Amino acid sequence: MQNDLSMMRRVTSLPQAAGIGFKPQHFDDLLATDQPIGFIEVHAENYMGAGGPPHAMLSALHERFALSVHGVAMSIGSMQPLDRDHLACLKILCDRHQPESVSEHLAWSSHGDVYLNDLLPLPYTEETLEQVIAHVDQVQTALDREILLENPSTYLQFADSTIPEAQFLSEIARRTGCGLLLDVNNVFVQARNHGTSPEGYLSDFPLARVKQIHLAGHDVQSDETGAPLLIDAHGSPVAAAVWRLYERVITVTGPLPTLIEWDNDVPDFATLADEARAAGRILARAPQRQAASHVRPDPG
**Residue 237's CATH number:** 3.20.20.150
120-135 residue pLDDT tens: 788 899 999 999 999 9
User: What is the average pLDDT across 258-275?
Assistant: 96
Q: What is the pLDDT of residue 1?
A: 47
Query: Total domain count for the chain?
Result: 1
User: What is the domain extent for residue 48?
Assistant: 4-285
DSSP-derived secondary structure letter, 205: S
Residue 298 lies in a domain: no
In terms of average pLDDT, the best of 7-16, 151-160, 186-195, 260-269 is: 260-269
Residue 77 lies in a domain: yes
Task: Please list, residue by residue across 126-162, b when 16 or more beta carbons sit within 10 angstroms of its beta carbon and e when fewer do.
Answer: eebbebbbbbbbbbbeebebbbbbbbbbbeeeeeeee
Would the pTM count as exceeding 0.75? Answer: yes
DSSP-assigned beta bridge partners for residue 214: 183, 259
Residue 296 lies in a domain: no
